[in-house]
Amino acid sequence: MTGCDVLRVPADGECDVLRGQDIVVADGVIAEVRPAAPVRPAPGDDVVDGRGLLAVPGLVNAHTHSPMVLMRGAAEDVSVEAWFNERVWPMESNLTAADVRLGARLACAEMIRSGVTTFADHYFFPEQIAEAVGETGLRADIAPTYFSSRGQEALEETVKFAETWHGAADGRITVSLGPHAPYTVNDTDLRTLAGHARRLGLRTHIHAAEHLEQTQSSLERRGSTPIGVLYETGVLEAGALIAHGCGIVEQDLPLLAEFAATTGVACCPKVYLKHALSPLTPVRELLDTGVAVAVGTDGAAGHNTLDVWEALRLVALTQKQAVRDATWMTVSGTLRLAFRGGARALGLAERVGALEPGMRADIVLTDLSGLHCRPLHDPRAALVYSTRASDVRTVVVDGRVLMRDGVLLTVDVPALRAETDARVARILDTSHGRAVQHYDP
C-alpha cells in the first residue's frame, strides 16, 4: 500500500493523520508503516497504489445478525413487540440453511464494500455463516444463537460448533457462545455455557439490558438486573460481548467494572431510535468502568444497512445529545470506539483495530475527495460526519485484497442478487403462524 495517508488511532488522546506513507505487509501482518519512498517491488509483491487516499483500520461491526439482510425493509413502522412477534421471528422460522448461507454472503459483500473487515455475528445455522466468511475473506466472531426453548441437544450443538470452528479460516474465524438473552435462556443454561466458555477460552455474545423496561421487568420478576444475572451465572467472569445495554443501570456498573478487561458493549443507535427506545446505551458511564464500548449495526431487518459509518456517526450524534454535552464523544473518541473499541469488545485487540506493526493487515482505503468532504479541513471530522460507505475504495483483510478500487474480488454480486431475489417471497411469508420464539422480556 503505497503513498497513502494513514489514520493513527491511539489508545488515548487525539487521532492524527500521517501524510504520504507506505504500509508494508508480510504474511498477512503489518510489517511497517513508513514515509513513502520509491521502492522496486519484488516479483510477487502486490502493490496497491494508495496515493490520494486515506488508509484507516478496517471497521468492526460489533453486533449484527448478518443473514437478516434478507429481511431488510420488511418490518417498518412497528413497535418492538410487533417487530419480533409479528414480523421477524415468524419470518425467521422460514429460514433454511441455504437461505442463511446466501444471506451471510450478501451481508459479507455489503460489509466489504463499506469497509467493514470484522463483524460479530449472532445467528442460527452458524456453520453457514462460517463458510460464507471463509469464502469471502472477512474476519468474524460468530456466536450460534441459542434459546433454552430449543433444548439440550441444541445447546450441545452450539458448543460443538465452537470446538470445531474457533480459529478456522487461518484464524479469521473466532467463535463466541451465543445464548440469546437472559429472558430467553435460563440460568442453568447460562451457567453451563459460561462453564464451556471458560473451558474453551471463549467469550459469550449475548443481548442484555436491551432497554430500561427490560431491566425493570427483570428486577420485578427475579430481583436481579439482566447484568446482575450475567454476573451471577458466571457469564461476565468468562468474558462477554453485551449487545445494546441501553438498560444498564448504576448498580450494574461495579459488576461490569470487575471484569472490564474482558467485557464489551456494542452500541447500535439506529435501531434504538427506530424502535423509539430511550435511554440509549450509557456510553460515558461504561467507558468510565473500563469496559470496551464498540459500534454495531444490529441486523438489517432493523438497521436496514450494515453500514458502520452510519452507525458510528449516530453514536457520536446521539451520545452528545444524550448527555447534553456537545464537547463530548469527540471525533477522536468516536473513531476510537469504532476501531479499537470494536477490536477490544471482540477480544481481538492484539490483532486488529489499528494500523501498527504487528497487527493483522486489515486496511481500508477511503477516498475523501468527494464534494461532500471538500474542503477537507479535518479528515478525522470527515470520517465521522461526512464520509459515506461509497467512499471506500479498497479493502484488505489479513493481507488479502477483497475489494480493489470498488470491485469486489471474492463475491459474484449479480449471481448473489439473482439467487436472493428468487428466495425472498418464501422468506417473507408469515401466513403459517410459526415463530422461532415469543418475545416477552
The residue ranges that bind its own copies (CB under 8 A) are: 69-74, 76-80, 83, 106, 109-110, 113-114, 270, 272-278, 304-307, 314, 316-318, 320-321, 323-328, 330-331, 369, 371-378, 381-382, 385-386, 388-390, 413, 417, 420-421, 424, 428
**In the complex with its own copies, which residue's Cβ is closer, 232 or 367?**
367
**In the complex with its own copies, which residue's Cβ is closer, 275 or 400?**
275
Q: Are 28 and 398 spatial neighbours (Cβ–Cβ below 8 Å)? A: yes
CB of 317 to its own copies, least distance (A): 4
CB of 348 to its own copies, least distance (A): 25
**In the complex with its own copies, which residue's Cβ is closer, 55 or 306?**
306
CB of 88 to its own copies, least distance (A): 13
The three state secondary structure string of the chain is CECEEEEECCCCCCCEEEEEEEEEEECCEEEEEEECCCCCCCCCCCCCECCCCEEEECEEEEEECHHHHHHCCCCCCCCHHHHHHHHHHHHHCCCCHHHHHHHHHHHHHHHHHCCEEEEEEEECCHHHHHHHHHHHCCEEEEEEEECHHHCHHHHHHHHHHHHHHCCCCCCCEEECEEECCCCCCCHHHHHHHHHHHHHHCCCEEEEECCCHHHHHHHHHHHCCCHHHHHHHCCHHHHCEEEEECCCCCHHHHHHHHHCHHHEEEEECHHHHHHCCCCCCCCHHHHHHHCCEEEECCCCHHHHCCCCHHHHHHHHHHHHHHHCCCCCCCCHHHHHHHHHHHHHHHCCCCCCCCCCCCCCECCEEEECCCCHHHCCCCCHHHHHHHCCCHHHEEEEEECCEEEEECCEECCCCHHHHHHHHHHHHHHHHCCCCCCCCCCCCC
CB of 225 to its own copies, least distance (A): 22
**In the complex with its own copies, which residue's Cβ is closer, 224 or 318?**
318
CB of 78 to its own copies, least distance (A): 6
**In the complex with its own copies, which residue's Cβ is closer, 165 or 272?**
272
- Measured distance CA(286)–CA(257) in Å, rounded: 8
**In the complex with its own copies, which residue's Cβ is closer, 62 or 392?**
392
- Measured distance CA(386)–CA(368) in Å, rounded: 9
**In the complex with its own copies, which residue's Cβ is closer, 223 or 327?**
327
**In the complex with its own copies, which residue's Cβ is closer, 239 or 341?**
341
CB of 203 to its own copies, least distance (A): 29
**In the complex with its own copies, which residue's Cβ is closer, 46 or 213?**
213
